[in-house]
Structure 1
Amino acid sequence: MPIRAKFKVQSITRIAGWGGPKEFHTIKLQPVVGGSPENKEFFANTPSGSIELAVVVASVGEQFDIGKEYYVDFTEAPAA
């Protein structure tokens, strides 16, 4: 059964990549804590945690903005 959580972007760090013009985007997210009835419900079930993404594709990293909220769905992957 999938598990849904709701996270908010706390910080974004963009640094130059190694050996080229690429940028690395590090996006740090924390569970939502309030601001809406939905967020309060998510907070009651997921009060703490963190997600940190290191993204090397600029078009993906640029889709995240500080303060925006995102759903995160966890679905078990088949064994390799």
Structure 2
Amino acid sequence: MKVRAKFRCDSITHLINSLWDDQLKQSIPTPARSIKMSPVYGNGDPNHENTKFWKASPSGSFEMNVVNAAAADMFEVGKTYYLDFTPAD
């Protein structure tokens, strides 16, 4: 089974995360981006895709910190993205 949601990117914040380095036995400051999203909302058209998604998930939030610059570059404030959820086991 798979669940698909449609979210809008609300903000992207640059930050520094600390990642543990096993070889150095210490935390290393690592650039990252915090990406915050919220579900799309209905636009009054019952046949529009956003309205259908809004009826299924009208509120919520999604946030992730991304250290992979190439992956973070694919996100843009104001754009919408599908989030697909599938069981991992």
What TM-score bracket applies, with the shorter chain setting the length? 0.7 to 0.9
Query: In structure 1, which of residues 22, 40, 57 is the aligned counterpart of residue 51 of structure 2?
Result: 40
Name stretches of at least 5 consecutive residues in structure 1 with no aligned partner. none
Give the drift of 1:34. Answer: 3.2
1:25 is the counterpart of 2:33: yes
**Equivalent residue for 2:70?**
59
Q: Percent identity, aligned pairs only?
A: 43
User: For this pair of structures, how many residues does the alignment match?
Assistant: 77
Q: Which consecutive aligned stretches of 4+ in structure 1 deviate over 3 angstroms post-superposition?
A: 16-20
Structure number with greater Rg is: 2
**Equivalent residue for 2:24?**
none
Higher normalized strand content (fraction of residues): 2
Secondary structure at the residue paired with 1:66?
coil
Name stretches of at least 5 consecutive residues in structure 2 with no aligned partner. 19-27
Task: Normalising by structure 2, report the TM-score.
Answer: 0.78
CA RMSD, Structure 1 to Structure 2 (Å): 1.6
Give the drift of 1:17. Answer: 4.8
Q: Which amino acid aligns with 2:6?
A: K
User: How has the CA–CA distance of structure 1 residues 46 and 15 changed in structure 2, closer, same or farther, with 3 Å as cutoff?
Assistant: same
